[in-house]
């Protein structure tokens, strides 16, 4: 029973650490930042680019940032005792 409580505390601690993570992606003056809860923290556009170009870059930036944050989460989970992948 104590092991389960210990694991629950570890998971809660991990959740708090992950929430503090940030991933940034950018290209051609377009930049986004997301956090470990996969919430968008900021978006910066480049007004010199046309709408279609910005949409394509934004899509790529979001996908890149999500991959980065997922990789970071996986690394942190792998380091947790009993959670190794």
Contact between 69 and 77 under an 8 Å Cβ cutoff? The reply is no
Mean pLDDT of 19-39: 94
Q: Does residue 19 lie within any of the structural domains?
A: no
Tell me which residue range forms the domain holding 81: 36-85
Cβ atoms within 10 A of the Cβ of 76, count? 15
Q: Does residue 84 lie within any of the structural domains?
A: yes
Tally of domains in the chain? 1
Evaluate if residue 27 carries a pLDDT over 80. Answer: yes
CA separation, residue 43 to residues 25, 26, 79 (Å): 10, 10, 31
pLDDT at residue 1, as a whole number: 64
The whole-model pTM stands at 0.77
pLDDT at residue 55, as a whole number: 95
Evaluate if residue 66 carries a pLDDT over 90. Answer: yes
64 contacts: CB under 8 Å, gap ≥ 6: 25
Q: Does residue 2 lie within any of the structural domains?
A: no
């Amino acid at each position: 029973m104590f092991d389960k409580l210990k694991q629950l505390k570890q998971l809660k601690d991990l959740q708090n650490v992950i929430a503090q993570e940030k991933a940034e992606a950018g290209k051609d003056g377009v930049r986004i930042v997301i956090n470990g809860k996969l919430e968008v923290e900021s978006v910066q556009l480049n007004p010199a680019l046309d709408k279609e170009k910005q949409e394509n870059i934004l899509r790529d930036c979001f996908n890149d940032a999500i991959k980065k944050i997922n990789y970071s989460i996986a690394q942190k989970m792998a380091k947790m005792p009993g959670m190794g992948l």
